[in-house]
Amino acid sequence: MDISELPRYGIVLFVLVMFVALFVVAKRLSRKWVRWPVRGVTSLGAGLTVLLIALFVFGDYSCTARAPKAYSPDGKHVAIITWGLQGALGADMATVTVRHRYSPFARNVYSGPGESDYPRVRATGPQVRWVDNKHLLVRYCDWPGSDQICASHSFGIEVICERLPSQCSQP
C-alpha cells in the first residue's frame, strides 16, 4: 500500500475516532439509564467501523496489483502504476498516479485498460519512465472502444503520453 491511498480512509477513521470519543464521554454521564445504552451503541459502532476498515484494506489489497515505484531522477516525485484486477468481469484497469515523494496526495495522469503480469509487466502496460526531473513518459496500448485518459501535467511535471506499437493484445 502506498501513502497516497491513505486519505480515502480518512472519513472512516474519523467516524471511528468519534465513536471512541463518545464512548469515553459516556463514562462521565451520571445516569445509568443513559450511560449504558450510549456506551453499548458506541461500542457496536466502533466494532462495525473497524470491520469496515478491515474490509476496505483487505479488499483493496487483494484486487490490486502494484508495480515498483518509479522515482524521478532528483527523487522529488514518484510515479505509481496500479492495476485494478477485474478477472473474468473484464479487462484490468490501469492507473498511473504522480505525487511528491513525501506527500499522501496523488493525482492521476493516466487511466485506461492494461494488463498486469506482475512482477513481470507485459507490453500492454502502461509503462512509465522518467525522461528527466520534470518529464514523465507514459506508454500505453491503444484499445479501440476503451476510454483512456492521459493528463498533460501534474504537480509541475509534464506528462508525455505515447501509444505503444501495434503488438498489444486486446483485453
Q: Which pLDDT does position 85 carry in this prediction?
A: 66
Q: Which pLDDT does position 120 carry in this prediction?
A: 55
Please tell me the distance from the alpha carbon of residue 2 to that of residue 7, in angstroms, as a whole number.
11
Please tell me the distance from the alpha carbon of residue 52 to that of residue 46, in angstroms, as a whole number.
10
Q: Which pLDDT does position 169 carry in this prediction?
A: 57
Q: Which pLDDT does position 170 carry in this prediction?
A: 54
Q: Which pLDDT does position 33 carry in this prediction?
A: 85
Q: Which pLDDT does position 88 carry in this prediction?
A: 53
Mean pLDDT by runs of 10 across the 171 residues of the chain is 70 85 84 84 88 78 74 89 66 83 87 67 71 88 76 85 69 49
Inter-residue contact 137 to 125 (CB < 8 Å): no
Burial of 134 (C-beta count, 10 Å sphere; 0-12/13-18/19+)? middle
